[in-house]
């Protein structure tokens, strides 16, 4: 049983495991995405997320602490520069693990992609498009939410106001009131005209 064993040793000694995770963290910081096994990705996430949190506070002490773990100046520069600026307002959860449907050919290990969340452009574009598209909320109870002001043609209009739209002079105009169809409004105007 594995009671209380919170770390996956990954079949390696401590020094080998730390070196491997350090190299994988450097690759993740530099290339923003990495294809590896699920077990290594989960271990890497626990390894790299505290480093990403430290990079949000750009002090000499935090730089030295991260450098002691990574031992790579280029990765340190990238981490405290571009990556820290992108994750500045994110409270945590900087990485995403996406499991792939395939397995590794040699040992049939599950393969996945681990990536930095703020660098996946396709998901960010889809999220922004979804936010722009879903401007109204729908209730499952069927009730409609009343709005105080409705936008029409750039002007604010009260919900029960009558809107008059100018038409060419030779075209008859019909004013449609709330709860009334266009045909009913035309019949009402014809009766009033005769």
Give residue 3's pLDDT: 94
**Whose CA is closest to 44, among 34, 54, 30?**
34
Q: How far apart are CA 155 and CA 149, in angstroms?
A: 10
> What is the model's pLDDT at position 120?
85
Residues pairing with 155 in the sheet: 152
Predicted local confidence at residue 166, as pLDDT: 59
* pLDDT at residue 34, rounded to an integer: 95
Residue among 155, 184, 157 at smallest CA distance from 175: 184
Whether 117 and 90 have beta carbons less than 8 Å apart is answered as yes
The 10s digit of each residue's pLDDT in 121-172 is: 888 788 788 777 665 666 677 655 544 444 445 555 555 555 555 556 666 6
The Cα-based distances of 179 to 135, 158, 162, 188 in angstroms read 24, 16, 12, 14
Domain boundaries, the chain: 14-120, 161-193
Rounded CA separation 127/136 (Å): 16
Closest CA to 178 of 192, 158, 193: 158
The CATH number assigned to the domain with range 14-120 reads 3.90.1030.10
Please give the Cα distance from 147 to 178 (Å, whole number): 15
Q: Which residues of the chain have pLDDT under 50?
A: 146-152
């Amino acid at each position: 049983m594995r009671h209380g064993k919170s770390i996956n040793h990954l079949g390696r000694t401590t020094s080998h495991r730390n070196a491997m995770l350090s190299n994988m963290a450097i690759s993740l910081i530099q290339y923003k995405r990495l294809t590896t096994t699920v077990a290594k990705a989960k271990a890497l996430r626990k390894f790299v997320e505290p480093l990403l949190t430290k990079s949000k506070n750009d002090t000499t002490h935090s730089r030295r602490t991260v450098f002691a773990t990574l031992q790579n100046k280029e990765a340190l520069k990238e981490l405290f520069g571009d990556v820290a600026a992108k994750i500045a307002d994110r409270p945590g959860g900087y990485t995403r693990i996406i499991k792939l449907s395939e397995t590794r050919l040699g040992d049939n290990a599950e393969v996945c992609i681990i990536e930095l969340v703020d660098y996946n452009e396709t998901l960010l574009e889809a999220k922004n498009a979804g936010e722009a598209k879903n401007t109204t909320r729908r209730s499952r109870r069927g009730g409609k939410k009343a709005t105080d002001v409705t936008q029409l043609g750039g002007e604010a209009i009260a919900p029960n106001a009558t809107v008059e739209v100018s038409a060419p002079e030779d075209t008859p105009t019909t004013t449609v009131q709330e709860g009334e169809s266009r045909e009913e409004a035309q019949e009402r105007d014809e009766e009033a005209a005769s």
